[in-house]
């Protein structure tokens, strides 16, 4: 061998030093600061700005890292990329956090000390909300810098900057002018402790409160009491056989408006928030009611009250109407009760009621058993506490909702579809005074202060009216014209736009901008964060502090008014007037306007999947409300969340790792790659430190390999063009093509798999082939391969790639290098089959010698005859065109085909074998072979002889290659007749 690969000692790279070095150079050379450049296409990319109430942990990093990869990728594709960042101070959580510090909340202080490692003297200063936000703001920014994000920091702002508030006031006056802001009474998720509406940002686990509206059916008890049952299916009152009450729960008699209701304590409390006047009269045990009966005013009959443990006192009124024919829980609870002799005799109950069938569906049309019985039996339910009952219920409810019809003998709603019957009955019983409605949270939601949230009917509250039909239409128009990645999440967007209604947009406390026409209210955090991407183009021209204002090139925030924003963002008004009003020069005003015109719209918006139902939907709505069509955003990219060693990250599990700590221990590039390789974009990725270590070792491997082979980068153009040279060159084109296509669609895991692992396989094969021929690997083919690999990797691992880029002799930044381009003339479809053939032959021979334990002295290889190749071609053609796929039919055709009929008659099995051969190849391979007219197997086998010899034998090994057609071939055992195209026959001695 000419070149021996010398082993380097296995030392680690100095990650911290490398990161520091490149970070400083990037900053000093301002390579990520982006201004309009009229001769270049722009790309404006943003990601949801962080809320600074904690340092970022490993889980936060995924979305930002993806956005940074995207920014770096586009930059290498010749775009003038703008990637800015701001900080979202708005809202109540920071305020309540400061109150908890003031009141010496030990749990919070421990979190600050032990997880966030904040020094004690700093903690004591965090009693002011703004100080908390400022502290974590700097902490997060530092982390983003350490991660290597290519952000233009000149445009940074916070949402409590004066200039930003002016901008948000402008947005709100605009929405109001367009009739999109309304005042009124609407239900909202509510924290009784904070006395504020809650949305996703305010809740433990970031859960968006979802509201449902129950119908309460009022049954009469002892003439003077109302027993209300909550249901989402009021049409089923015709199938009620009994009510359920939990015998172990406390109920109360409460004066609700002017009626005496019997409900659980919990329900009485919920009713208060819904603006009922509620006064508790007395308490009763659930067991006191069991065995008695209520009067059903709809059907004018008595209905007995039975005990059931599945009844949840927190759900609805804590009393359930039982429809055993159509509700699996009710059916099962009746079965359980009938078996419970003790209970039956204790309350003197006769449980042999119903079921009463009222709904028909084709899926549950049995005459013998009710739909509920059918499904309970098929799910093999044990008892009413069996968790499978939930699935059974969902299945049946969904079936009846979509395909159900009321039986013809049902009063008032007979023959109606379930949906029609539901609306009819709802309206009727409410107007007859035997029904009402009640809002409730569909999911259990806790405020970050620890209080369980409720639904409150807010009066005089300000709402953004996302229910406005015209507005919805425009929102649909935008998403229909927008790229959404991954595409599979598009339906979720459509659904959200569908169900969004009025949404509270202001609160009485918290940080943020006052409602411009009513300064008792502060605009809440999911309302002031929807069009701020436009503000990135203004922020660096605005000075928020009057005293610091010496700069001629900036506008004082105090001088901003609606005319300014109308001019700069919408192109309205007269320039001279606006310049005069904002006390700036015409040139500066023009410059800002041009900057906005150049960069807007947003080309890509990145965010976590949890923001689809709120932030991202509002982003769409508000853009169509405020901006003309040519300024509507172009793309949304959504990613899943991050698990830590398979578990959800949470404080209680103690598995929250601050990002900066992880970077310090493992280096930013390894963390970045780990976040991106463990899952495709929409799935939750599973972060683990074993994976980080594996990735870091892989990077080091790449580094060591390049460092060892530095001579490659000084190599002259090689004049050789051996088969393996053509092949590696062609492989490189496929790699560029596949990786680029994967990144474009954000199949990042796939792209990284190719760059980090598949490229090594190619490298290894190429080197083996060269070394077996005693040829140097220090050539331009490998130089290009290595260089391309580092370029492909650089958006993902920027520090590492800058370092290697320099190591191999470049004095420019790889961050600004050109993304590899595909050279069509170097794609050789034949070369893939050439090398595959050599690989397969070596593999086959190794297998044979291993099984037979023989040391081969002479190997004869026979390639298939010409006529077999023709036959192969004909079969491939039929399979690919999907004609005559049937074996018998193919045979019939070939028997009459002069070219192949002799062969087929002599060897009928061959057709079958070739069909199997072809079907076992991938679609890619089949297409490739279709494109080739013929394939000469002898050339690559001759060429691969040297490698075959070094892999399976020694220098004395003789290898001969014959065609089946050769008359003077050496073929003592008649092996050649077994040769098939791409499957040469082998004879070993
Ligand atoms: Zn709260």
Measure 194 CA to ligand 1 centroid, in angstroms. 5
Measure 208 CA to ligand 1 centroid, in angstroms. 14
Measure 445 CA to ligand 1 centroid, in angstroms. 11
Measure 447 CA to ligand 1 centroid, in angstroms. 4
Query: What confidence score (pLDDT) does residue 2 get?
Result: 33
Chain centre to alpha carbon of residue 550: 46
Q: What percent of the chain is predicted at pLDDT more than 90?
A: 62
Measure 451 CA to ligand 1 centroid, in angstroms. 5
Measure 93 CA to ligand 1 centroid, in angstroms. 9
In the predicted structure, residue 555 carries a pLDDT above the cut 70:
yes
Rounded distance between C-alpha atoms, residue 579 and residue 566, angstroms: 12
Measure 41 CA to ligand 1 centroid, in angstroms. 47
Spatial CA neighbour of 876 closest among 837, 835, 836, 919: 919
Measure 140 CA to ligand 1 centroid, in angstroms. 25
- Pairing between β-strand 506-507 and β-strand 522-523 as defined by DSSP bridges: antiparallel
pLDDT band at 547; cut points 50, 70, 90: low
Measure 508 CA to ligand 1 centroid, in angstroms. 13
Count CB neighbours of 374 within 10 A.
Answer: 19
Measure 522 CA to ligand 1 centroid, in angstroms. 17
Query: What confidence score (pLDDT) does residue 349 get?
Result: 86
Measure 191 CA to ligand 1 centroid, in angstroms. 5
The string of pLDDT tens digits covering residues 796-820 is 999 999 999 999 999 999 999 999 9
Measure 400 CA to ligand 1 centroid, in angstroms. 39
Measure 615 CA to ligand 1 centroid, in angstroms. 21
Measure 278 CA to ligand 1 centroid, in angstroms. 23
Residues 125-154 have a mean pLDDT of: 96
Measure 444 CA to ligand 1 centroid, in angstroms. 14
Measure 193 CA to ligand 1 centroid, in angstroms. 5
Measure 271 CA to ligand 1 centroid, in angstroms. 19
Query: What confidence score (pLDDT) does residue 550 get?
Result: 60
In the predicted structure, residue 366 carries a pLDDT above the cut 80:
no
Spatial CA neighbour of 979 closest among 837, 875, 862: 862
Rounded distance between C-alpha atoms, residue 183 and residue 505, angstroms: 10
Q: Tell me the backbone φ, ψ of residue 351, rounded to 5 degrees.
A: -90, 10
The string of pLDDT tens digits covering residues 346-357 is 888 888 887 899
Spatial CA neighbour of 35 closest among 596, 813, 818: 596
Measure 454 CA to ligand 1 centroid, in angstroms. 11
Measure 732 CA to ligand 1 centroid, in angstroms. 57
Query: What confidence score (pLDDT) does residue 572 get?
Result: 95
Measure 100 CA to ligand 1 centroid, in angstroms. 12
Measure 453 CA to ligand 1 centroid, in angstroms. 8
In the predicted structure, residue 718 carries a pLDDT above the cut 70:
no
Measure 281 CA to ligand 1 centroid, in angstroms. 29
The string of pLDDT tens digits covering residues 917-950 is 998 998 888 988 988 877 889 999 999 999 999 8
Query: What confidence score (pLDDT) does residue 824 get?
Result: 93
Measure 502 CA to ligand 1 centroid, in angstroms. 22
Measure 456 CA to ligand 1 centroid, in angstroms. 13
- Pairing between β-strand 242-245 and β-strand 642-644 as defined by DSSP bridges: unpaired
Helix segments in 147-264, DSSP class H: 162-177
In the predicted structure, residue 883 carries a pLDDT above the cut 80:
no
Measure 656 CA to ligand 1 centroid, in angstroms. 23
Measure 211 CA to ligand 1 centroid, in angstroms. 18
In the predicted structure, residue 448 carries a pLDDT above the cut 90:
no
Measure 523 CA to ligand 1 centroid, in angstroms. 18
In the predicted structure, residue 398 carries a pLDDT above the cut 90:
no
In DSSP terms, 980 is beta-bridged to 983
Longest dimension (CA), the chain: 112
In the predicted structure, residue 8 carries a pLDDT above the cut 60:
no
Residues 138-157 have a mean pLDDT of: 97
Spatial CA neighbour of 702 closest among 817, 607, 785, 779: 785
Count CB neighbours of 561 within 10 A.
Answer: 14
Measure 322 CA to ligand 1 centroid, in angstroms. 36
Query: What confidence score (pLDDT) does residue 7 get?
Result: 43
Measure 105 CA to ligand 1 centroid, in angstroms. 15
Measure 201 CA to ligand 1 centroid, in angstroms. 11
What does the mean pLDDT of the chain come to?
Answer: 91
Assign residue 104 a region (left: φ > 0; alpha: ψ between -120 and 50; beta: otherwise).
left
Kindly state the helix (H) or strand (E) to which residue 963 belongs, with its residue range. Answer: strand 958-963
The string of pLDDT tens digits covering residues 639-685 is 998 888 888 877 666 788 889 999 999 999 999 999 999 889 999 98
Distances 568 to 173, 294, 575, 580 between C-alpha atoms, Å: 16, 68, 9, 14
Measure 207 CA to ligand 1 centroid, in angstroms. 14
Measure 97 CA to ligand 1 centroid, in angstroms. 11
Query: What confidence score (pLDDT) does residue 546 get?
Result: 66
Count CB neighbours of 581 within 10 A.
Answer: 16
Measure 829 CA to ligand 1 centroid, in angstroms. 64
Q: What percent of the chain is predicted at pLDDT more than 70?
A: 97
Spatial CA neighbour of 373 closest among 422, 419, 323: 323
Measure 644 CA to ligand 1 centroid, in angstroms. 28
Helix segments in 773-855, DSSP class H: 780-793, 798-807, 829-852
Measure 209 CA to ligand 1 centroid, in angstroms. 13
Measure 176 CA to ligand 1 centroid, in angstroms. 29
Measure 189 CA to ligand 1 centroid, in angstroms. 11
In the predicted structure, residue 232 carries a pLDDT above the cut 60:
yes
Measure 264 CA to ligand 1 centroid, in angstroms. 23
Measure 197 CA to ligand 1 centroid, in angstroms. 9
In the predicted structure, residue 903 carries a pLDDT above the cut 50:
yes
Measure 109 CA to ligand 1 centroid, in angstroms. 18
In DSSP terms, 962 is beta-bridged to 862
The string of pLDDT tens digits covering residues 59-98 is 889 999 999 999 999 999 999 999 999 999 998 889 888 9
Query: What confidence score (pLDDT) does residue 814 get?
Result: 97
Measure 246 CA to ligand 1 centroid, in angstroms. 30
In the predicted structure, residue 51 carries a pLDDT above the cut 90:
yes
Spatial CA neighbour of 466 closest among 48, 167, 181: 181
pLDDT higher at 651 or 438:
438
In DSSP terms, 254 is beta-bridged to 261, 280
Measure 192 CA to ligand 1 centroid, in angstroms. 7
Measure 449 CA to ligand 1 centroid, in angstroms. 4
Q: How large is the C-alpha radius of gyration of the chain?
A: 36
Measure 198 CA to ligand 1 centroid, in angstroms. 8
Q: Are 85 and 144 spatial neighbours (Cβ–Cβ below 8 Å)? A: yes
Query: What confidence score (pLDDT) does residue 206 get?
Result: 78
Measure 348 CA to ligand 1 centroid, in angstroms. 46
Count CB neighbours of 301 within 10 A.
Answer: 10
Measure 175 CA to ligand 1 centroid, in angstroms. 29
Measure 108 CA to ligand 1 centroid, in angstroms. 15
Measure 962 CA to ligand 1 centroid, in angstroms. 83
The string of pLDDT tens digits covering residues 905-918 is 888 889 889 989 99
Measure 520 CA to ligand 1 centroid, in angstroms. 20
Rounded distance between C-alpha atoms, residue 974 and residue 240, angstroms: 85
Assign residue 917 a region (left: φ > 0; alpha: ψ between -120 and 50; beta: otherwise).
alpha
Measure 130 CA to ligand 1 centroid, in angstroms. 19
- Pairing between β-strand 542-543 and β-strand 555-556 as defined by DSSP bridges: parallel
The string of pLDDT tens digits covering residues 952-986 is 877 788 999 999 999 999 999 999 999 999 999 99
In the predicted structure, residue 336 carries a pLDDT above the cut 70:
yes
Residues 159-168 have a mean pLDDT of: 97
Residues 829-847 have a mean pLDDT of: 93
Measure 200 CA to ligand 1 centroid, in angstroms. 12
Measure 152 CA to ligand 1 centroid, in angstroms. 36
Query: What confidence score (pLDDT) does residue 11 get?
Result: 61
Measure 96 CA to ligand 1 centroid, in angstroms. 8
In the predicted structure, residue 307 carries a pLDDT above the cut 70:
yes
Measure 215 CA to ligand 1 centroid, in angstroms. 28
Rounded distance between C-alpha atoms, residue 435 and residue 456, angstroms: 20
Measure 660 CA to ligand 1 centroid, in angstroms. 30
Measure 448 CA to ligand 1 centroid, in angstroms. 6
């Amino acid at each position: 061998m000419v070149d021996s690969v010398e082993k380097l000692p296995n030392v680690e790279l100095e990650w911290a030093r490398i990161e520091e070095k490149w970070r400083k150079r990037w900053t000093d050379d301002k390579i990520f600061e982006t201004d309009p450049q009229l001769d270049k296409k722009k790309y404006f990319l943003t990601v949801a700005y962080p809320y600074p109430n904690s340092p970022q942990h490993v889980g936060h990093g995924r979305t930002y890292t993806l956005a940074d990869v995207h920014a770096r990728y586009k930059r290498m594709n010749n775009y003038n990329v703008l990637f800015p960042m701001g900080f979202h101070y708005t809202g109540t959580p920071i305020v309540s956090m400061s109150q908890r510090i003031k009141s010496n909340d030990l749990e919070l202080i421990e979190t600050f000390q032990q997880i966030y490692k904040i020094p004690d003297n700093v903690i004591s200063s965090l009693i002011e909300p703004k100080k908390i936000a400022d502290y974590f703001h700097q902490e997060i920014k530092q982390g983003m810098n350490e991660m290597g994000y290519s952000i233009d920091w000149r445009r940074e702002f916070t949402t409590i900057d004066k200039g930003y508030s002016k901008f948000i006031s402008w947005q709100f006056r605009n929405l109001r002018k367009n009739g999109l802001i309304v005042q009124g009474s609407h239900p909202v998720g509510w924290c009784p402790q904070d006395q504020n509406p809650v949305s996703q940002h305010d809740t433990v686990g970031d859960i968006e409160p979802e509201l449902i509206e129950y119908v309460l059916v009022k049954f009469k008890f002892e003439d003077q009491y109302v027993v209300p049952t909550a249901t989402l299916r009021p049409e089923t009152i015709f199938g009620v056989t009994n009510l359920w009450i939990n015998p172990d729960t406390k109920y109360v008699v409460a004066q609700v408006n002017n009626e005496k209701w019997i409900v659980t304590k919990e329900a009485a409390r919920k009713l208060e928030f819904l603006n009922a006047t509620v006064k508790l009269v007395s308490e009763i045990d659930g067991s006191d009611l069991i065995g008695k009966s209520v009067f059903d005013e709809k059907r004018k009959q008595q209905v007995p009250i039975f005990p059931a443990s599945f009844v949840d006192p927190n759900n609805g009124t804590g009393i359930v109407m039982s429809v055993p024919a159509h509700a699996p829980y009710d059916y099962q609870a009746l079965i359980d009760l009938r078996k419970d002799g003790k209970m039956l005799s204790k309350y003197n109950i006769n449980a042999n009621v119903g079921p009463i069938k009222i709904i028909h569906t084709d899926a549950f049309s049995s005459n013998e058993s009710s739909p509920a019985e059918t499904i309970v039996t098929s799910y093999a339910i044990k008892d009413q506490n069996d968790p499978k009952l939930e699935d059974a219920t969902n299945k049946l409810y969904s079936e009846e909702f979509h395909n159900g019809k009321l039986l013809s003998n049902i009063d008032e709603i007979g023959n109606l579809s379930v949906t029609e019957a539901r609306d009819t009955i709802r309206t009727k019983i409410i107007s007859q005074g035997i029904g009402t409605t009640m809002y409730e949270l569909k999911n259990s939601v806790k405020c970050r202060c620890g209080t369980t949230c409720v639904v409150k009917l807010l009066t005089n509250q300000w709402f953004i009216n996302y229910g406005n039909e015209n507005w919805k239409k425009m929102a649909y128009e935008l998403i229909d014209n927008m790229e959404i990645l991954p595409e599979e999440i598009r339906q979720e967007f459509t659904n959200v736009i569908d169900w969004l209604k009025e949404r509270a947009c202001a609160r009485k406390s918290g940080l943020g901008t006052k409602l411009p026409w009513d300064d008792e209210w502060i605009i809440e955090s999911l309302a002031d964060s929807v069009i701020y991407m436009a503000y990135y183009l203004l922020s660096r021209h605005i000075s928020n502090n009057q005293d610091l204002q010496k700069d001629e090139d900036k506008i004082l925030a105090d001088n901003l008014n609606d005319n300014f924003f109308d001019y700069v963002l919408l192109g309205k008004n007269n320039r001279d007037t606006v310049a005069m009003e904002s006390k700036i020069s015409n040139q500066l005003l023009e410059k800002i306007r041009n900057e906005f015109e150049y960069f807007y719209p947003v080309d890509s918006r990145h965010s976590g999947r949890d923001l689809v139902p709120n932030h991202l939907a509002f982003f769409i709505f508000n853009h169509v409300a405020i901006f003309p069509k040519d300024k509507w955003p172009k793309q949304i990219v959504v990613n899943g969340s991050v698990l830590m060693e398979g578990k959800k990250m949470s404080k209680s599990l103690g598995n929250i790792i601050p990002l900066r700590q992880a970077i310090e221990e493992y280096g930013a590039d390894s963390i970045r790659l780990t976040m991106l390789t463990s899952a495709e974009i929409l799935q939750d990725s599973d972060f683990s430190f074993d994976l980080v270590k594996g990735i870091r070792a892989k990077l080091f491997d790449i580094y060591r390999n390049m460092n060892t082979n530095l001579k490659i980068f000084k190599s002259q153009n090689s004049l050789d063009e051996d088969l393996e040279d053509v092949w590696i060159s062609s492989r490189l084109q496929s790699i560029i093509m596949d990786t680029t296509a994967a990144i474009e669609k954000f199949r990042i895991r796939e792209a990284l798999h190719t760059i980090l692992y598949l490229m090594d396989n190619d490298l290894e094969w190429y080197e083996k082939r060269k070394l077996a021929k005693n040829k140097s690997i220090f050539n331009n083919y490998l130089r290009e391969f290595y260089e391309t690999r580092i370029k492909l990797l650089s958006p993902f691992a920027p520090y590492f790639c800058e370092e290697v880029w320099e190591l191999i002799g470049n004095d420019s930044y790889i961050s600004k290098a050109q993304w590899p381009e595909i050279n069509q003339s170097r794609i050789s479809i034949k070369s893939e089959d050439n090398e595959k053939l050599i690989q397969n032959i070596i593999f086959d021979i190794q297998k044979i010698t291993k099984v037979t334990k023989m040391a081969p002295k002479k190997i004869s290889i026979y390639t298939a005859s010409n006529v077999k190749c023709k036959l192969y071609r004909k079969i491939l053609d039929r399979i690919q065109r999907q004609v005559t796929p049937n074996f018998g039919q193919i045979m019939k055709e070939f028997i009459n085909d002069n070219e192949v009929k002799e062969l087929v008659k002599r060897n009928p099995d061959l057709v079958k074998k070739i069909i199997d051969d072809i079907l076992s190849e991938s679609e890619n391979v089949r297409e490739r072979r279709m494109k080739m007219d013929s394939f000469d197997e002898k050339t690559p086998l001759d060429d691969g002889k040297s490698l075959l010899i070094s892999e399976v034998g020694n220098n004395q090994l003789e290898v001969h290659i014959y065609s089946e057609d050769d008359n003077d071939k050496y073929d003592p055992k008649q092996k050649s007749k077994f040769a098939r195209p791409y499957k040469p026959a082998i004879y070993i001695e």
